[in-house]
Each structure stands twice: as structure tokens, then as C-alpha cells.
Structure 1
Amino acid sequence: MGLFRAWRYVASLPLVDVGELVEKDVRLVLLDRDNTCVPRDASSAPPEVVAWLDAARAAGIGLCLVSNNFHSSQVGRTARELGVEVVDHAMKPAPFALRRAMRLMGASPEKTVMIGDQVFTDVAAGSLAGVRTILVRPQSRSDLWYTHIFRVFERLALRGVTFEGE
């Protein structure tokens, strides 16, 4: 897999099969916050995301938010609400925060998956950290101004890619 190619492409986080993650020996899921777990134009995760996190936890999978969001209080509040660990100020695509999250959670790259909505941050960071990646569609069209620019290039990078569940 290349730097910008995900292991899997799934339409949304709740459509990621928890049972399949367990079968693939995944013990830790690293999650992006904005537009993966929480829509950018909302303050909390939708019920179907909360239900997915509960199912993953029940299956014995560790969960950790790894967010570039610089509003630590917002990211921390979300982590508490969702009952997950957090590493903020991640600076993705740099892999350092993902490695810190794996150390925090006691997981190896081989047993870790990064799930996010952006090719040039989430997928690239996961690739650089040596973990499998799952790209999901953003939950909202609302994004930061510079993310809209990245989305143009993302569409080019995703030409021909089919997302499961669409």
C-alpha cells in the first residue's frame, strides 16, 4: 500500500464491521475526531457512532482519539463523553501521535487500525506509523477552509475507489 492508499474504504464509521476487525486481530482502533466520530458542524457524536464504539469496546478493542484539533477542551470533552483515551495536537500526517497512542494503549502497529476521513492526514499518518488504515467519508460538508482545499486533491487521489456501504 502506498502512503495515500487505505487498507479499506468504508462509507462511515458505523459500517466498519467490528467482527471483521476482531478476526483480523485488531486490538486498537485510533480514531480521528472531526468528521469521523463527530460531524464538524456538531458538538457530539451521533448515536450510531456511540453504538459502534460500544460494540468495539465489548469486543475487546481499545479506542483512542488522535486529533489534530487544537481545541484541547473540545477534544477532551468528546473523549470523556465517548469513554475513549485521547491524544490531541496530533500534527498528522506526522506519525508521532499515533505511536504515542499505541504506547499509551499497549498495542503494536500490527494490531492497530487508524480510521479517519482525510487521505492526507489520517491515511498518511497511519501509513507512516505502520498501521492499517480505513478511510471513511466525512460526516459533514462543513470543514475548515484549508481542509476544503485538501478535499479537491483528495477527490483526485480517490478516483476509481469504491467505498463499502455506498
Structure 2
Amino acid sequence: MPLGSFSPFRATRYVSSVDLIDVDALVAAGVRLVLLDRDNTCIPRDTHVAPPAVKAWLDRLRGAGIASCLLSNNFHSTEVAASACELGCPVVDHAMKPAPFSAWVAMARMGVGPEQTVIVGDQVFTDILAGNLAGARTVLVRPQSRRDLWYTQVFRLGEALVLRGVEFEGEASGPTGRSDG
């Protein structure tokens, strides 16, 4: 990517869901740590339970020797801790994304630098911005649920502008448009 085209709001990749991120491609790219947003990235906001496909993907990630850690802005520590336990990974909560500090803390805890880290999330103005500010690669996924907090719904309006013309890997496209699944 030419230097002049960098935008703190652009993800490195766009994939329709976490479980469609190619683990072998992460290994080939030298990734040793995946920092994951919790709400609507790994855990749908309307069910509060990780889908089997996300759990299976995390198992493949671990099997490939890649560490994972939840990086959550959620202030309900008991819910976040329960999700981390369910997913089998450590957590940094109260992350205050888009500030990059929690990402740096997670990387330091795991002994991995930003060049070996990928941050995955469903929000441009928190997850992707935090990842870019932290110097890591970023993957934006579609939210798992349409249910969001009121202020996230406001941010989604701005995201629609930023994401205009972006194609997500794993989505059907063509004359009928994209599939929302």
C-alpha cells in the first residue's frame, strides 16, 4: 500500500466473520497473537454465547501455535471474564479503545510485538482505529448481531460512509447484492 493511502480507519483486511479468517494465512504472515474484540465479534450481543464456529476457529488458532486474547471495552467484568473462560483465552477489559494502550498491554503480556499481532473487531472507530494506532494489522468483521448499544448505532452511521465500496471476504456479491447472513 502506498504511504499516502494510509488511513487510520482502514483495516488491513475485511472478512465477513471471525471463523472465516484463514489460520494458515496468519501463520504464513508471521502472526503470533490475535487480539479479539468481544461484543459482536466473538460473542453476539443478542445471545451472549460464543457460536460453535468461533470456538472451533479459536481451537484451530491455538493448534497453529497462535495465542489469542480478548480486548474488550465492556465494563461488565464478570461477563467479559465468563466469555474469556468460555473461549479459553486471557482478557484485557476496560480497554478504552480506540486508545492503543490496552493493545500494547496485551502484546507485552503475551511477549509479542505489533508486527506479529492482528487485531480483529467489528467496529471501525474502536477496534480498527486502536489496532492501527497500536501498529498492528487489523481485520474488520461484520457484527454478529444487529443488536448494538445506542451509541454504537450512531457510530455505525459513520462506518457506513467509511466502508462505502468495501467488499468483505466470505460474502456473496453480484447482481443481488451482499448477503447479510
Per the normalisation by structure 2, the TM-score is: 0.91
Structure 2 match to 1:36: 41
Structure 1 gaps of 5+ residues are none
Alignment of 1:44-59 (within 5 A): 44-59=49-64
Give matches, 1:11-160, under 5 Å. Answer: 11-160=16-165
Question: How many angstroms does 1:131 deviate by?
Answer: 0.2
Task: Supply the AA of the counterpart residue of 2:136.
Answer: V
Name segments (4+ residues, structure 1) moved above 2 Å: none
**How many residues get paired?**
166
Structure 2 counterpart of 1:102, which letter? M
Cα distance in 2, alignment partners of residues 43 and 148 from structure 1: 18
Shift, 1:81, TM fit: 1.1
Gaps of 5+ in 2: 1-5, 172-181
- Identity, in percent, stands at 66
Scaled by the length of structure 1, what TM-score is found? 0.99
Deviation, structure 1 residue 2:
1.3
CA RMSD of aligned residues (A): 0.5
User: Which whole-Å CA distance do the structure 2 matches of 1:55 and 1:131 have between them?
Assistant: 21
